[in-house]
Chain A
Amino acid sequence: MSSYAILLGRQRHVFDDLKAVMAAASPEKSGDRLAGIGADTNERRVAARYLLADIPLRTFLEEPLIPYEVDEVTRLILDSHDAAAFAPVAHMTVGQFRDWLLSYECTTAALSALAPGLTPEMVAAVSKIMRNHDLIVVAAKTSVVTGFRTTIGLKGRLSSRLQPNHPTDDPEGVAGSTLDGLTYGVGDAVIGINPAGDNLDACMRLMELFDRLRQRFDIPMQSCVLTHVTTSIKAVEAGAPLDLVFQSIAGTEAANRGFGVDLNVLREGREAALSLKRGTVGDNVMYLETGQGSALSADAHHGVDEQTVEARAYAVARHLKPLIVNTVVGFIGPEYLYDAKQIIRAGLEDHFCGKLLGVPMGVDVCYTNHAEADQDDMDNLMFLLASAGVNFLIAVPGADDVMLNYQSLSYHDIVSLRHSFGRPPAPEFEAWLHRMDLLDGEGRLAPQASSVARRLIDYRPDFRASA
């Protein structure tokens, strides 16, 4: 392990190792301060960036930030690295790579071909010397397309997760939030509920509820009950109509263990969902969530900064060929991302890093009530992410999640972004909205009091046990 040093004026800045340079180069995050690894002066942060810009990309293959021997995520990253795909940028430093990403030569096709040759540490490193502008324009050049019953990530489209959470999983309450969202054309990425508990029967009842709704109106959609992967595997074994397997994941083996998973059980979850063959336009069967700070909160970060650990989670995600992945960027709390500036920056970093690695990235644009942020800040982030070509965004009724007690985007926000950017939902779902007369030729929605909307809203699900 070598140390790094730079002289700026009369001040010499010394860093013990590569991960110290990475941590100090990171934009200010309360979580890195909490971990005691963030830059303690503004000058030191820029000093680390000068050093980082001159470090060759291949250094990250030669000097793992978390040792190969102790961490299966590091082993996955290095063992699956595609040297041929890496070849076009193998000679570059981090700084040269940043300039190349912004160049005209760096096209969508070039980025898609490059993705298997990049490691999380490389994309995290380059993101640290990129301004928000750079993160947006480069991400907008990427394309990551996946499919199950809808096709997500196509250029010129914006998909959304409909999140009908309810504090007690009351089926009528869940139905109310779901039907409301469908009349806004929300839910083409997934109808995904965080259940109040991990109870298998309760989760299976929710899967039934969504599957009956899907069949009743012939909706091209997928649903997901966001329970632990082991519960989903049991649901598959019990014959539940499961579309997607969900799991929260992180960027180190130890942090994943804190979530009660490892790579093997994640692969088992994927196999279980694949065995049902329920997809029609694709076989991406996983839904994964991540978020900066999760490894630190489990004391499993190995002294690596929270943004780099987050990027490593995308290597885990990439391995599982997911339909959708999102960072829950402002959910984890102000001890990791203090205010709107940090949340917005992290949202753009996560989206950029995920997309560059070939992950179908979405974002839960959100905040808690003890963070220094409000809905105006979420407006900013959602417009920035739409500019960056985000695959999907999460929406809840009126932006208020009454079960998890935090704020996300509203159904209205999705409608507004689609209208402002001229980005309809996934093509299969858009065609369904037209068939239902919920959407007119100019992308305008039918009012909820209209008879076409009432057809949906007046649906009364049968809550009794499955036939």
Chain B
Amino acid sequence: MSNPIDLDPFARFRAVTRARIGLGRAGDSLPIRAVLDFQLAHARARDAVHGHVDFSAMAERIGATQSVIRLKSRAADRPTYLARPDLGRRVDPAALMLVEKGDWDVAFVIADGLSAAAVEAHAEIVLSACLRRLGDLKVAPVILGEQARVAFGDEVGETLGARMVVVLIGERPGLSVPDSLGAYLTFSPKVGRRDSERNCLSNIHADGLAHETAADKIVWLIREALRLGLTGVDLKEDMGGAAALPSAL
């Protein structure tokens, strides 16, 4: 049997693109292998969107070394979360009573966002890598946010009285990467902050930004934000890798 690689007219492109080129045809249609590969990628992306972060277990693990508070957004379930982004941006008022105002430099929020897989795989590692680098700052109790979007951190940060908030959140999955984590930094968090007032690091995953590198960049941004008193378009992340804000979050 001949080696199909030798016959691949697109061999020279494979190293520079993940695009599904040169798939071959069955009549006019995709060959079965290409159909199933696509279905597998889509299935993983869907499972990531609809998966549940085990926040109980996460709270126990993080709670061994840090104070942890579990909160929920005003979106009661995943279908509501997907259809009503406004509800995912606000904290369930009953749960918010658990949060006390303090004197904090920075608060971290772990939010499920659109990929449970990303949060399960990367959030705690990035969090602890950041905390190791921030021994000199007053860090608020870690907030775990269920059915939460980026702006969820604004209300949390405001209630905590934190000077800034960092939201680690699951990004909308693509077919090639179902578990990409994003980090959103907001100085002086309060309800109604615009996306242009945040900084974002995206693509934290196995084939993207490594955990330690991500932590370096996040910590650099935290220190710059506290020094300059701002985040957003006027704070340029000059360590490379800063991305535009995905509006879907």
Whether B3 sits at the interface, judged by CB under 8 Å, is: no
Contacts of A333 in B (CB 8 A): 248
Tell me if B's interface is mostly helix, strand, loop or mixed. Answer: loop
Q: Tell which of A33, A170, A369, A453 touches B9, judged by Cβ atoms closer than 8 Å.
A: A453
Q: Tell which of A173, A176, A334, A457 touches B82, judged by Cβ atoms closer than 8 Å.
A: A334
The answer to whether A412 touches B30, judged by C-beta atoms less than 8 angstroms apart, is yes
Whether A107 sits at the interface, judged by CB under 8 Å, is: no
Q: Tell which of B10, B25, B28, B175 touches A400, judged by Cβ atoms closer than 8 Å.
A: B175
The answer to whether A369 touches B46, judged by C-beta atoms less than 8 angstroms apart, is yes
Whether A454 sits at the interface, judged by CB under 8 Å, is: yes
The answer to whether A397 touches B7, judged by C-beta atoms less than 8 angstroms apart, is no
Q: Tell which of A172, A370, A416, A458 touches B28, judged by Cβ atoms closer than 8 Å.
A: A416
Complex Cα gap A419–B25 (Å) = 14
Q: Tell which of A34, A374, A415 touches B83, judged by Cβ atoms closer than 8 Å.
A: A34
Question: In whole Å, how far is B132's beta carbon from the nearest beta carbon of chain A?
Answer: 31
Identify the interface centre among A370, A399, A415: most chain B CB within 10 Å of its CB.
Answer: A370
Mark out the residues of chain A between 354 and 403 whose CB falls within 8 Å of any chain B CB in the assembled complex. Answer: 368-371, 374-375, 396-400, 402
When A180-B10, A448-B9 are in contact, do A297 and B247 touch as well, CB less than 8 Å? yes
The answer to whether A397 touches B20, judged by C-beta atoms less than 8 angstroms apart, is yes
**Chain A residue with the shortest CB-CB distance to B48:** A369
Identify the interface centre among B17, B22, B114: most chain A CB within 10 Å of its CB.
Answer: B17
Complex Cα gap A82–B46 (Å) = 49
Whether B241 sits at the interface, judged by CB under 8 Å, is: no
Question: In whole Å, how far is A444's beta carbon from the nearest beta carbon of chain B?
Answer: 9
The answer to whether B19 touches A410, judged by C-beta atoms less than 8 angstroms apart, is no
Contacts of A374 in B (CB 8 A): 42
Q: Tell which of A170, A369, A397, A416 touches B21, judged by Cβ atoms closer than 8 Å.
A: A397
Whether B85 sits at the interface, judged by CB under 8 Å, is: yes
The answer to whether A457 touches B9, judged by C-beta atoms less than 8 angstroms apart, is yes
Whether A449 sits at the interface, judged by CB under 8 Å, is: yes
Complex Cα gap A398–B19 (Å) = 8
The answer to whether B174 touches A402, judged by C-beta atoms less than 8 angstroms apart, is yes
B residues lining the A interface (CB < 8 Å):
7, 9-10, 12-13, 16-25, 28-30, 34, 38-39, 41-42, 45-46, 48-49, 82-86, 114, 172-176, 247-248
Since A369-B174, A375-B42, A405-B174 are in contact, a sample of 7 more A-B pairs with Cβ atoms closer than 8 Å, ordered by chain A residue number, is: A176-B13, A370-B172, A398-B34, A415-B28, A448-B9, A448-B10, A448-B24
Complex A-B, nearest 10 residue pairs according to Cβ-Cβ distance, in ascending order: A398-B20, A405-B174, A176-B13, A173-B17, A369-B45, A416-B28, A180-B21, A173-B16, A397-B19, A415-B28
